[in-house]
Amino acid sequence: MARKRNLALLFLLAGIAALGASGYFWIMAWLDHQFRTVPPETPGHEVVFTVEKGSPFLVVARDLRSDNIITDVNRFWALAREKGTVNEVRAGKFRLNTGWRPDRVLEVLTTTPGIMVKVSVREGLTWWQTAEVVAESGVCTQEEFAAAAQDSELLKEFGIKAETAEGFLFPETYLLTPPEENKGRYMVRTMLRQFFAEAEKVWPDGLPEWKNLKKFVVLASLVEKETGDVTERERIAGVFANRLKRRMLIQADPTIIYGLGPAFDGNIRKKHLKDRNNPYNTYVHPGLPPGPICSPGLDSLKAAVHPEDHRFLYFVAKGDGSHYFSKSLREHNNAVIKYQIRRNRDTYRSTKSAE
């Protein structure tokens, strides 16, 4: 095909001398028509093309020509100028094809986000569990995410006065086009921005000062970890609020587990319940733990801020995802015998099944 095209061009060039200026304009118009209507290859093949942030249009066009995605740099520039999109090429990775006409290439580069990576982070994950999920998606490594989640300058940027971003890495399904560098910071910054965007729904009149914001996020993280039935969030938050008012110990197993860190083997032992060296052990340390124990979702944040008003002080898992709530220790102990000690291990589950 290329040989036939060259032969045709030679014949046309040979006739230019006889045709004069009109022939020149005719051949230019023909070449422009060929550029716009005939793809570089038939059939074409897919090319993953990268546009670096801040790249001038002509640099992008030359790279496209090098990859045989277009056949003429100047004509591609003229096409973009005609459409008013010279300054609208986006940075990122794009799946292009050498079998496309240049107008389609230009449209993809100026109107689409490019190749996007999906990262689904569910509620209730710790920051190190989140790092695993992000790494599995291919956005960045666990080490890169961990470094960013503990980056003091990045935390300061968002007003987070803590050693890690725990509790503020908002659980969400993200569609991203990661940059070539600083991928961990990009991911953490994206999640932190999402947290504060969602927080506006909880505090439409403005965020509380750091001390109170942290308290609500810590409480929300407890609610998130203890909730198996989503309809109980406000009630569980109310139990924690009541215990705090009465200066009772929180006594929440998830706090102990968080304090044990990634090395936790799945079994809470008596020594763990008595361990005063674990600052997250709410069986021995009064009040809320020193920081969030996971990333709470929006509903848990709302529950922490607006707990249900009741007199319950205890709750125990019933084995179907829901809890039995008690107002007295005697009632609670009876519920523990019924729902825990005498539980059916074959049917017991910690979360309520969807109906």
> Based on C-alpha coordinates, what's the Rg of the chain?
31
Give pLDDT < 50 ranges for the chain.
Answer: 354-355
| Architecture of domain 40-115 in this structure | 2-Layer Sandwich (3.30)
Q: Which residues contact 142 (CB under 8 A, 6 or more apart)?
A: 128, 131, 132, 134, 135
Q: What integer pLDDT is reported at residue 83 of this predicted model?
A: 94
What predicted TM-score, i.e. pTM, was given to this entire model?
Answer: 0.79
Q: What integer pLDDT is reported at residue 9 of this predicted model?
A: 57
8-state DSSP, 337: I
Say if residues 63 and 56 touch (Cβ distance below 8 Å). Answer: no
Q: What integer pLDDT is reported at residue 355 of this predicted model?
A: 47
Dihedral of CA 12/13/17/21: which sign? Answer: positive
> By 3-state DSSP, what share of the chain in percent is helix, strand and coil, each rounded to 5?
50, 10, 40
Give the domain ranges of the chain: 1-38, 40-115, 117-202, 210-310
Q: What angle do CA 150, 203, 145 make, to 5 degrees?
A: 20
* Angle, helix 127-137 to helix 142-149, in steps of 10 degrees: 140
The helix/strand count (H/E) of the chain reads as 16, 6
Q: What integer pLDDT is reported at residue 1 of this predicted model?
A: 53
Residue pLDDT, tens place only, 223-232: 999 998 999 9
What's the rounded Cα separation, in Å, for the pair 76 and 35? 9
Exposed, middle or buried: residue 156 (CB in 10 Å: 0-12, 13-18, 19+)? exposed
Exposed, middle or buried: residue 294 (CB in 10 Å: 0-12, 13-18, 19+)? buried
What's the rounded Cα separation, in Å, for the pair 321 and 346? 14
